[in-house]
Chain A
Amino acid sequence: MKIIAAIAWRNIWRNPARSGVLIAAIVAGLWAGISVSSLSNGLIVQRFNNLIEQDLTHLQIHHPHYLAEREPWMVVLNADSIFLFLENDERVRSFAGRVLSDGIIQSPVTSTGVQINGIDIQREPLTTNFHLNLSEGEYLDSNLPNPVIIGERLAQKLQMEIGNRVVLMFQDTGNDLASAAFQIAGLFNTSSRVYDERNVFVRAEHLNDLISADAIVHEIAVILHDAADADSLTAQINHTFDEVKAETWYELSPELRYMSDFGNSVTFYVMVVIMVALAFGILNTMLMAIFERMRELGMMIAIGMSKARVFMLIMLESVMLTLTAAVGGMLLAWLSVRYMQRNGVDLTVFGGDSLLEFGFDPLIFPFILAADYAAVTLLVICTAILASIYPSIKALRLNPGDVIRE
C-alpha cells in the first residue's frame, strides 16, 4: 500500500501544470462555495437569532384561540401554576409573561396601528435581548410616568421625540375602548423596519391596569438552554395544562423554519454544483493521465501488479490530488470566513438598506460550523472516488500485451 501511495503521490506532480490547474480550480470552487454558504448561513442565522432571541423565543404559551382571534379577554389561565412549572423545569433558561393588545398610537401629527407589548421589566431582559436594541433614551425602568419605547422609524413617522407624549388606544377585556397617554422614554432600532414601525413597548402592569382589573397575561415567552428541547417541553405543557396552548418557534413562525431549511438547501445546492464541476475536472485529468500512461500501466500489470492495486493506484491518485486541493481551498475559505466574521460583510453597497425591509440585517457575519468543513471534506473524497471509478475501470481493461507493444 505504501508503494502504491508513493507512486500515486509522485504521479500527481508529473505534470505540474495540469495538476496545478485542477488544484486551482478546486481551491477556487471550495473557497467560493464555503464563503457563499457561510454568508447565506450568516444571513439566516442572524435573522433566526434576531427573531428567537429578541421576541419569539423557543416556545410561547397562549389561550388556545388567542393567536387566531387576538381578543383581549383570551388570557392565559392559571398563569401562576405555569410560571411555577417553568421555574422548576431545568430545560428552561428563562420565561416572561406579556400583556398584549392591538391598538393605535396617536401623535398630534398622525396615528398608526401598532401592537402594544406590555412587558415584565424584570423578567423580559432575562428572556430576550430586545433591550439591547435601545438606541436612544431610557428603558422602561425610567422614572417617567407611563413610559413607552417606540421604534426610531415610528418616531420619525409620528414626528415625536424622547419625552414627547403619545396616546395609545386599545380594547379592554370587556371589549370597551380604552386609551391613555404615555411618555416616550426611549427609541429602539432593530434589523427589521416593519417590526420597528409596528411595535411599541410599555410596562406590563401599566397595560394590565388599563385592560383589566385582574392580573392577566396574554403570552408567556419561554427561552430554553437548548432549542432542541422545544418539542418535548411544548408537548409536556400541553399535556399538563389543558386550558392553554403551547407552541414551538417553528409552529409560531413557519416561515422561520422554511428560511432555516432554505439556508441548508442553498448550501447543499451550491456544494452540488461545485462537486459536479469537480467531478468532471477529476474525470478529465485522470483520463488524460491514464491515456498518457497506458504503456506504463500495462508494464505494471505485465510484471505482476494486480489489477486491484492498479485500481487502487488510480483511486489514490484522484483522492490525493483532490484532497491536496481541498485542504488549500478550505484553508483559504477558513481564513476568508474568519476575516469576514471579524469585520462583517456590508451588503448595503449592493442594495442600500433594502434588506431591512425584509427583516435582514445588511451587515452579515458569516457562519459555518466545523462539522460543515468535515462534511465538505467527506463530500470531496466521495466525489473524487466516484469520478475516478471510470478512469480506474479503463485502466483495468488494459491488455498489457497490446499497450506495451504500441
Chain B
Amino acid sequence: MAIVQTKNLSKVYNPDTVPVHALRDVSISIEKGEFTSIVGPSGSGKTTLLNMLGGLDKPSSGSVWVNGKEITSMKESDLIDFRLYNIGFVFQHYNLIPVFTAHENVSFIMLLQNRSKKEIKERADELLEEVGLGDRKNARPVEMSGGQQQRVAVARALASEPKFILADEPTANLDSTSAMNLLDIMSRMNREQNVTFVFSTHDQRVIDRARRVITMVDGAIHKDEYQNVEETKTG
C-alpha cells in the first residue's frame, strides 16, 4: 500500500479573478521507504504539491490519501492531529523554536504527543546523537550553524515517528558541506530505518541522491523516473 497518494489533484488560486493553476490533475503514489525528489523550475507547483501532501493546504479538486486515509476531507482540527502522528516536516528556514534548546526542540513534538518524560528524553538524546549533535543538545538555535539547525529539524521531524517526512528545499540555505552532511544523514535514515522522504528541491546534489525524481512543469507532472544512486559519504 502506498504511504501517500494523490488522485487527480488540482489547485487553482484566485479562481474568481485571475485564476492561477498551481496544480493540474496530479496523481502520484509514494511507497514506504522511498527517497523522492520533486523537482522543477520556480512556480512549477513543487511547494504546493508538498503542502497538499502534508495537509497544509486544501486542493481545489482531487484527493490526498495518507496511509489509506483520505486527508483532504478532514476537519482542520483532525488534520492537525493527524499531522502530529503521521507526517514529519523539514522546512527550508529550519523553523526551530528559538527559545528552546536543540533537545527541547526535538522533545517538543513528543510532548505534544503526550509521551512519557523518560521516553521523550531518551528518544531526543538518541536522535540528536544520530544527527551528530549529541554534544550540542543544550545549544539554542541562535548558537548553532544553519547546517546544525537543519539537522535538529530533521531530528524533530523523526521524533514523532511519522509515516513519511516532507522536506521543502532542505538544503537551500546551507553551504555545500552542510548540505552533503544533511543528505548523508537523511539517506542513512532512509537506508537503515526505512524512513520515507519526499523533498521539493532545486538542488542538484539532492536530486542526484534521490532514487525517484518527479519533475513538475506548470503544475503538472512532466516526468516521474527512478534512478540508480551510488551511495556516497561526505563530511
Beta-carbon contact of B83 and A11 below 8 Å: no
Beta-carbon contact of B84 and A3 below 8 Å: no
A307 to B84, CA, bound (A): 13
Q: Does B14 belong to the interface (CB within 8 Å)? A: no
Name A302's contact: one of B54, B85, B93 (CB within 8 Å): B54
Q: Does A342 belong to the interface (CB within 8 Å)? A: no
Q: Which residues of chain A in 256-310 are interfacial with respect to chain B, using CB atoms and an 8 Å cutoff?
A: 295-296, 299-307, 309
Known: A303-B89, A400-B56. A14 touches B98 (CB 8 A): yes
Contact with A along B83-124 (1 / 0, CB 8 A): 111001101010101111000000011011100000000000
Q: List 7 A-B contacts (CB under 8 A).
A: A10-B100, A13-B99, A303-B83, A304-B83, A306-B77, A401-B54, A404-B95
User: Which residues of A sit under 8 angstroms from B160, Cβ to Cβ?
Assistant: 303-304
* Interface range for B: 20 to 34
Q: Does B196 belong to the interface (CB within 8 Å)? A: no
B119 to chain A, nearest CB (A): 15
Name B156's contact: one of A11, A301, A303, A405 (CB within 8 Å): A303
**What residue in chain A is nearest B91 (Cβ atoms)?**
A404
A12 to B211, CA, bound (A): 45
User: Which residues of B sit under 8 angstroms from A11, Cβ to Cβ?
Assistant: 99
**What residue in chain A is nearest B140 (Cβ atoms)?**
A10
Beta-carbon contact of B99 and A399 below 8 Å: no
Beta-carbon contact of B54 and A3 below 8 Å: no
Known: A3-B108, A11-B99, A14-B99. A307 touches B77 (CB 8 A): yes
A300 to B97, CA, bound (A): 9
Known: A295-B93, A401-B56, A405-B47. A304 touches B112 (CB 8 A): yes
User: Which residues of B sit under 8 angstroms from A305, Cβ to Cβ?
Assistant: 80, 84, 112
Beta-carbon contact of A302 and B81 below 8 Å: no
Binding site for B on A (CB under 8 A): 3, 7, 10-11, 13-14, 295-296, 299-307, 309, 399-401, 404-405
User: Which residues of A sit under 8 angstroms from B54, Cβ to Cβ?
Assistant: 302, 401
B50 to chain A, nearest CB (A): 9
Q: Does B60 belong to the interface (CB within 8 Å)? A: no
- Since A301-B80, A303-B109, A304-B81 are in contact, a sample of 13 more A-B pairs with Cβ atoms closer than 8 Å, ordered by chain A residue number, is A3-B108, A3-B112, A7-B99, A10-B99, A296-B95, A296-B97, A296-B98, A302-B83, A303-B83, A304-B85, A305-B84, A405-B47, A405-B168
Instruction: Report, nearest first, the 5 A-B pairs whose CB atoms are least far apart.
Output: A304-B84, A401-B56, A10-B99, A299-B95, A401-B51
A404 to B200, CA, bound (A): 14
**What residue in chain B is nearest A406 (Cβ atoms)?**
B93
A302 to B165, CA, bound (A): 12
A7 to B98, CA, bound (A): 10
User: Which residues of A sit under 8 angstroms from B224, Cβ to Cβ?
Assistant: none
Name A401's contact: one of B57, B98, B108, B113 (CB within 8 Å): B57
Beta-carbon contact of A399 and B57 below 8 Å: yes
A282 to chain B, nearest CB (A): 20
User: Which residues of A sit under 8 angstroms from B80, Cβ to Cβ?
Assistant: 301, 304-307
Contact with A along B67-89 (1 / 0, CB 8 A): 00000000011001101110011
Beta-carbon contact of B89 and A302 below 8 Å: yes
A388 to B91, CA, bound (A): 29
B36 to chain A, nearest CB (A): 20
A404 to B112, CA, bound (A): 20
**What residue in chain B is nearest A9 (Cβ atoms)?**
B99
User: Which residues of A sit under 8 angstroms from B168, Cβ to Cβ?
Assistant: 404-405
User: Which residues of B sit under 8 angstroms from A404, Cβ to Cβ?
Assistant: 56, 91, 93, 95, 168
User: Which residues of B sit under 8 angstroms from A10, Cβ to Cβ?
Assistant: 99-100
User: Which residues of B sit under 8 angstroms from A301, Cβ to Cβ?
Assistant: 80
Q: Which residues of chain B in 13-50 are interfacial with respect to chain A, using CB atoms and an 8 Å cutoff?
A: 47
User: Which residues of A sit under 8 angstroms from B84, Cβ to Cβ?
Assistant: 303-305
A400 to B89, CA, bound (A): 12
